[in-house]
Amino acid sequence: MNAFSLNGRKALITGANAGIGQAIAIAMARAGADVVCAGRRSCAETVSAITDAGGTASEIIVDFSDPMAGVSLFDGAGIDILVNNAGIIRRADSVDFTEEDWDAVMDVNVKAVFFTSQAFAKELLKQDRKGKIVNIASLLSFQGGIRVPSYTTSKHGVAGLTRILANEWTARGINVNAIAPGYIATNNTQALRDDPDRSAAILDRIPAGRWGRPEDIAESAVYLAAPASDYVSGAILNVDGGWLAR
């Protein structure tokens, strides 16, 4: 048995149209999973990358700005693995931060994660099936950050959700873990990479000496979805080039 194989498994990845979500979808398909790519924009590019390489994938349009948008995704769908990757960020000084920006981030990054996970778990428990949930947390699940008050709060929330759901569901066959990415070259970090001083300060602290790539997160997600991690639950895996060790 290959402990890292996802053959015979079906995975749903949210926010799979680009960045980390796209990389996770491609990596899970490469490991053998039938992948469902969910996003508020078309995931056709991700699906094509998978099918062109001989994998199996499909797409659905889901806008998680409605936190309940994911609750109907699992009925009879045969999903074994859920990756809660969809997320947004809004930047402003805390003294200027608006209620609209606060609510928008919390709805996508926390409320949608909980209710999507709940719907997934209900379907598995109803059928007495096992499954894996992989949440995408952040270094800001542990730190404060700068000018991202709702994002920081939401990612602390993802860490807490990961732990409570693991406490309640692991004994019932559903492992719940999270990955805390470091500074990854995605759309969410474009503003930081475009600021020469901020980018230099970030790179100076990363022992690996580079920005992370989405693919750096993807293989960790495969591990947390595969049999290799069957005794891992409630963990938050830092994939940060050594940032938190400094």
User: Which residues are the active-site residues?
Assistant: 151
Angle between helices 99-106 and 149-169 in degrees, nearest 10: 30
Nearest residue to 117 via CA among 178, 182, 32: 178
Cα–Cα–Cα angle for 225, 211, 189, nearest 5°? 85
Residue type, 160: G
Report the relative pairing of strands 81-84 and 10-14 from DSSP bridges.
parallel
Q: Can you tell me the distance from the alpha carbon of 108 to that of 158, in angstroms, rounded to the nearest whole number? A: 11
Contact by Cβ (8 Å): 14, 86: yes
Q: Residues 86, 39: contact at Cβ < 8 Å?
A: yes
Rounded to 10°, the helix 149-169/112-127 angle is: 20
